[in-house]
Amino acid sequence: MTRNMSEVNPIKILIGFTIPMILENIFQQIYNTTYAIIVGKYIGENDLYDNQ
């Protein structure tokens, strides 16, 4: 099923693209925070953020 995007309200198209991107960003932040907490317990907080 194809849809002609020129016949659809542009706001609906933008919302259709932005909602999945926002959800993906939220899940990515949750993953990164959880990873930092778990890894930080094993290697230590100072080593987690040390780039040397």
What tens digit of pLDDT does each residue of 1-30 get? Answer: 677 777 888 898 899 999 999 999 999 999
- Residue 36 · residue 48 · CB < 8 Å: yes
Compute how many other C-beta atoms are within 10 angstroms of the C-beta atom of residue 40. 14
Residue 7 confidence (pLDDT) = 83
Could you state, in order of their start, the residue ranges of all structural domains in the chain?
9-49
Query: What pTM was estimated for this model as a whole?
Result: 0.64
Which amino acid makes up residue 12? K
